[in-house]
Structure 1
Amino acid sequence: MASSSPTYCSPFTRAVVNSMRKLYPEVLADKSWDNTGLLLEAPFNPSQHRPRNSVLLAIDLTKAVADEAISRRNSVVVAYHPIIFRGLKSLTLDDPQQTSLLRLAQAGISVYSPHTAIDAAPGGMGDWLCDIVTGCFISKPHELPPAPAEQKPIPQLYTQPTYPQPTGITQSPPQLKHTRKTMHPSQFAPEGCENAGMGRLVTFSESQPLSTIIDHIAAGVGNPGGIPIAIPQGSSVEDIRIRTVGVCPGSGSSVLMKGVSEIPDLMFTGEMSHHEALAAIEQGKVVVSLSHSNTERGYLHAVMKEKLQNALQGEWESVRQEGLKTKKLEMYEDGGCEVDVSKADRDPYGIMIRRI
């Protein structure tokens, strides 16, 4: 009987995984509940039409993102949120998410999910949210795509849903003087990640108007159609001043409100429950909650795309040169690599604005 050929993922995929692990060490992820790392390792067959040396960044691996990756012939999807959280008893076409995974594997596309490793890493999402509230940078303006010709008429009372459209950064306004620290330091931070951990606390040198910080947040995340905010009853935004800001991407109440000596004046996160928000404003605090992934997606455009592109270029060149010594595969002759952000990825929630 003839022996079967060995099964392995593409050398370029290994370069992507190595680059991600160097930028965002997996040991920083909260493994008590999170599921991070290489979640789908697609087999590589050099005799077939191979994917391009390219990576697609997204927050959520939806069907639309999978379609995009397949049409672009990407080698890897780096999906921030893990599409696999719990053990699977089957992998079938009856489940839409599993269908996406099976289609990606068939196309030779792997999936890597870093999640809380990016939250905790120095220069990760936590620090990016600090940069936003302190005015370090703002998003580039973005033009929404025109509505398709076959779209039904807009309802009389409300507009179509709109979604934040972060695309990068422009020249920053003056940075507000501040200090920042990690709220829950990582216990096993590797060398070079000494400030890693969950949540960041910004302390301004002088208290700032809440309206100024709101303007920074809106610009930094792509100017959403509205800013969900909870303030103490009897107060107005114009009168509130903020000295401390706690930031956490995604769902941040457990990070910002538990195990801390004092709750920050303002908590900036993706989502917080009704009762947690009530508890905060009853203590005179403010909550800005933007819908879960709207505190995450802009990081892909503003920071991660360039960081991964730079790291991957060096990593792929090293893998490529080593491969050229032993295996004369066509893919090793291609020294290019590309990192892009998904255009299909978006938060499930949009904002419908009532017409006057």
Structure 2
Amino acid sequence: MPMTDGPPQPLTRRADGPQRADLLELFFDLAFIASLTLTSQKMADEQTWTGIGQALLALSTLWAVWVTTTLITDTYSPRKRPIPYLILGIMFGVMLMSAALPTAFRDHGLIFGGTWAAINLGRGLVLIRSLRGRQGQERSLRALVWNLGSGTLWVVGGLLTDPEWRLVVWFAALAVDYLAFGFRFPIPGRAPLPRYQVAPEHLAERYQQIYILTLGELILVSVLSLSHQPFTPGRIGAFGTAFLTAVVLWWSYAQGAGATLRAAIEASPHRTRLVQTNPYAHWLMVAGVVGTAAGVERIIAQPGERPGGPMTALILGGAGLFLFGRTVLEHEVYGRVPLSHVVGVAVTIVLAPFAAQLPGLALGVAAALVLLGVAAGELLRARRGSAPEAVAP
């Protein structure tokens, strides 16, 4: 992280410079992994629809932190001041939000919501000052305007004592954040901002890294859950099912659109569309893996327990959400919707009404078999040579 005194240098990445992810970015990811662990634990411990909704909101908020930080390091070099300091400051904020996550809807709402507001406002102020007289300052100014609005909602929500109203206000605040990012911070009467310019190699690598790290959360939960329980045939079977699920989730991404993401961004004449759909496609997959991890934790603890609605949503919904995200990514990269993924999502929906008649282990096996069936369909298609090259959507 070389930083020298002297006149200010351009912050943007040089086209002929290094495009790989920096070690500082991987260090930052460690904070996000902590939030994934706490989110899956919250889902597993609070077997209610409200608890799952709260966990998904927390996950979506922390995902927004990761996406916006990744866009910063994709646009600006993480080796040029003040970007390293900015990333470390955001990392501290993510760690604080993660620590507050389990009680964000009880005692520590202001810590969670206020920290996210502070990250947004602090990031904007730092970039506005650093980009003075440079291209990109207007984007930061517009983002700050939108962040002042959403930040107010985050703080107000944190001050509310009713958990349900807090959830409603925070969902509204998150919607403002996502809409502002998706529409590139529009301001009435001002021309639209130019589309995001990205480094394809860097951006693809960052999304590949965070997805693999998310799978690490599933593996970690599986190992820790079994280590805290007496070993029984049922628990070992659940552990084996979790391992199979993790392998299939890795294989499906590594052999599919995830592996060709860089080529798709580089080849597409509409690469900015991939930039803006990537966060949403990967959020669906990450949320699916986190939900699966929460279901795995419950199944390993009590493999014979019959699942209620929330647990069914974690096990089958996690698989379905991942497959839906893979469908979106496949469409954006290859320009098509794979039938195997659509069938997989449909099967998870069809199985849901019968889940109450099955023990948790059997339901986990059923979800794993659905994922395995979709992966087998992908493999057969690849062997027939019908898998297309990456094309512009």
Q: TM-score, normalised by structure 1?
A: 0.31
Flag the structure with higher strand content.
1
In terms of fraction of residues, the more helix-rich structure is 2
Larger RCO (CA within 8 A; separation ≥ 6): 1
**TM-score using structure 2 length:** 0.29
